[in-house]
C-alpha cells in the first residue's frame, strides 16, 4: 500500500495539491459512536472540508446533553442508539474509550453490513478484536493526537485488507483536522502512539521546564510563559515551513547555533546529559507500554 500524506485547507474546499480522484473521497453518510471531544473535532473538520453534509452525520452518545450540544452547534443528527448509527451510516467511527469497546461492538454487531467501513480511534484496540465481533468487515485503526482539537493533529492509520480500497476516504477525514499518514503494519501503531500520540506531552514538559528555568533567572511568570509559548509556536511553524524546502530540524538547529555562542553553550549541556539517548529511551518505553496495553 502506498503511503499518502495530505492536508485540507482550514477553510475547507479544494486544496491545490488535490487531484480529481482525491475529491472523490467525499462521503455520503458517517456515524460517530461516542460524541466526545475527538469526535467533535472530526465533525467540525469534516464539515469545514466539505466532506459530508451535516444532516448526513449521525452521532450517538449516552449523554443526552452532549447530543443536544452537537446537534445545535453543527446541525448533525443525534441518534440515541449505537445500533441505529451502524445501520444507517456507510462509515462508522468508534470514538469511545477502550474500556467501552466490547460493549459497543456487541451493540452494533447485528447492524453493520459487510461493506460498512469501521474506523476505530480507541487506543490499544487491535483490528483482530474488532473483527472478532463484527466479522469480515473493512476496518481502519487510527491513532490521532490531541492537537486535532484545534485542527493541527497528527494521525496515523492502519487498514485491513478489506479496507484498503477505502483508505483515501479515511485519509481525507483525518486530514481535515491536521495531517494523516498510512502505515503498512499494525504493530507500527505502537510506535506512532509513542511518537505523536504521547508526543504533545513531551513538548508540554519542555515548555514547563523552560518556564521554570526562566523564572529562576529572574523573569516574571507572565513574561516567562509568553516567551516560551511563543518560541515553541514559532519554532514549530518555522520547522514546518522549512520542511517544505526539504530543510531538516537539524539544519535549522545548526543555523541558530553560532560557534562559541549562547545556544552552543546550552546545547553542550544537553549533549553532556545525553539528551538524544534520553529521548530515544523515553519514546521506546512509551512504544513498549503501548504494545503491552494492546495485548
Quick check: 137 and 112 in contact, CB under 8 A?
Answer: yes
* Mean pLDDT along residues 49-73: 96
Q: What is the pLDDT of residue 13?
A: 37
List the CATH number of the domain containing 144. Answer: 3.40.50.720
Give the pLDDT score at 5.
45
If pLDDT is split at 50, 70 and 90, which confidence band does 80 have? Answer: confident
Tell me: do 131 and 163 sit in the same domain: yes
What is the tens place of the pLDDT at every residue in 270-284? 999 999 999 999 999
pLDDT digits (tens, 9 = 90+) for 9-32: 343 333 333 343 443 467 789 999
* pLDDT tens digits, 118-129: 999 999 999 999
If one counts the domains in the chain, the total is: 2
Domain that holds residue 276: 199-294
Average pLDDT (264-268) is 98
Question: Which of these three, 156, 172, 190, is where a domain ends?
Answer: 190
Q: What is the CATH number of the domain that holds 230?
A: 1.10.3730.10
Residues 40 and 150 in one domain: yes
- What's residue 25's pLDDT? 63
Interatomic CA distance for residues 281 and 263, integer angstroms: 25
Whole-number Cα distances in Å, 15 to 47, 48, 228: 15, 13, 33
Mean pLDDT of 97-113: 95
Beta pairing, strands 91-94 & 117-120 = parallel
Give domain status of residue 15, yes or no: no
Q: Are residues 183 and 212 in the same domain?
A: no
Average of pLDDT values for 105-126?
A: 96
Q: How confident is the model at residue 7 (pLDDT cuts 50, 70, 90)?
A: very low
- Name the pLDDT band for 247 (thresholds 50, 70, 90): very high
Buried b (16+ CB within 10 A) or exposed e, 233-262: eeeeeeeeeeeeeeeeeeebeeeeeeeeee
Q: Provide the 8-state DSSP code for 116.
A: P
In a domain, 238, yes or no: yes
- Mean predicted confidence (pLDDT) in 55-73: 96
Q: Which of the listed residues 155, 190, 225 is the one where a domain comes to its end?
A: 190
Per-residue pLDDT at 23? 38
Determine, yes or no, domain membership for 92: yes
| Mean pLDDT calculated for residue range 261-265 | 98
247 and 162 belong to one structural domain: no
pLDDT 10s digits, 163-195: 999 999 999 999 999 999 999 999 999 999 999
Rounded mean pLDDT, 110-137:
96
Element (H, E) at 104: helix 101-108
Same domain, 204 and 142: no
In a domain, residue 67? The reply is yes
Do 182 and 37 fall into the same domain?
yes
Q: What's the pLDDT score for residue 288?
A: 96
> Residue 63, SS3?
coil
The verdict on residue 271 lying in a domain is yes
The answer as to whether 9 is a domain residue is no
178 and 209 fall within a common domain: no
Contact 109, 138 (CB under 8 A): no
| Closest listed residue to residue 1, CA positions, set 116, 167, 127 | 167
Asked whether residue 69 falls in the same domain as residue 179, the answer is yes
- Is residue 210 located within the same domain as residue 265? yes
Q: Is the pLDDT of residue 146 over 90?
A: yes
Residue-level pLDDT at 9: 39
Q: What residue has cell string 502512539?
A: 193
Residue 105 placed within a domain: yes
Residue where one domain finishes, among candidates 162, 190, 218:
190
The pLDDT score that the predictor gives to residue 27 is 75
Q: Residues 186-241: pLDDT tens digits? A: 999 999 999 999 999 999 999 999 999 999 999 999 999 999 999 999 999 999 99
Q: Are residues 71 and 161 in the same domain?
A: yes
Claim to verify: residue 139 and residue 50 sit in the same structural domain: yes
Q: Do 39 and 169 reside in the same domain of the chain?
A: yes
In a domain, 11, yes or no: no
Give the pLDDT of residue 176.
Answer: 97
Amino acid at each position: 500500500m502506498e503511503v499518502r500524506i495530505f492536508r485540507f485547507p482550514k477553510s475547507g474546499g479544494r486544496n491545490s495539491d488535490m487531484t480529481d480522484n482525491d475529491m472523490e473521497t467525499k462521503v455520503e453518510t458517517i456515524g460517530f459512536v461516542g460524541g466526545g471531544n475527538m469526535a467533535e473535532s472530526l465533525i467540525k473538520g469534516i464539515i469545514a472540508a466539505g466532506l459530508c453534509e451535516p444532516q448526513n452525520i449521525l452521532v450517538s452518545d449516552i449523554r443526552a446533553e452532549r447530543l443536544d450540544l452537537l446537534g445545535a452547534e453543527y446541525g448533525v443528527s443525534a441518534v440515541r442508539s449505537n445500533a441505529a448509527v451502524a445501520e444507517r451510516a456507510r462509515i462508522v467511527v468508534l470514538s469511545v474509550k477502550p474500556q467501552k469497546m466490547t460493549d459497543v461492538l456487541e451493540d452494533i454487531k447485528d447492524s453493520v453490513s459487510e461493506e460498512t467501513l469501521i474506523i476505530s480511534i480507541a487506543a490499544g484496540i487491535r483490528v483482530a478484536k474488532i473483527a472478532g465481533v463484527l466479522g469480515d468487515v473493512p476496518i481502519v485503526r487510527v491513532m490521532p493526537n490531541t492537537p486535532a482539537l484545534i485542527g493541527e493533529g497528527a494521525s496515523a492509520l492502519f487498514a485491513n485488507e478489506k479496507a484498503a480500497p477505502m483508505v483515501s476516504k479515511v485519509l481525507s477525514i483525518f486530514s481535515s483536522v491536521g495531517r494523516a499518514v498510512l502505515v503498512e503494519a499494525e504493530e507500527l501503531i505502537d510506535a506512532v502512539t509513542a511518537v505523536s500520540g504521547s508526543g504533545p506531552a513531551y513538548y508540554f514538559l519542555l515548555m514547563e521546564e523552560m518556564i521554570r528555568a526562566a523564572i529562576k533567572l529572574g523573569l516574571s511568570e507572565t513574561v516567562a510563559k509568553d516567551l516560551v509559548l511563543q518560541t515553541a509556536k514559532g519554532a514549530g511553524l518555522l520547522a514546518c515551513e522549512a520542511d517544505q524546502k526539504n530543510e531538516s530540524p537539524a539544519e535549522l538547529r545548526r543555523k541558530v547555533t553560532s560557534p562559541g555562542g549562547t545556544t552552543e553553550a546550552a546545547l553542550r549541556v544537553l549533549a553532556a546529559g545525553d539528551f538524544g539517548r534520553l529521548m530515544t529511551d523515553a519514546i521506546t518505553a512509551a512504544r513498549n507500554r503501548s504494545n503491552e496495553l494492546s495485548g
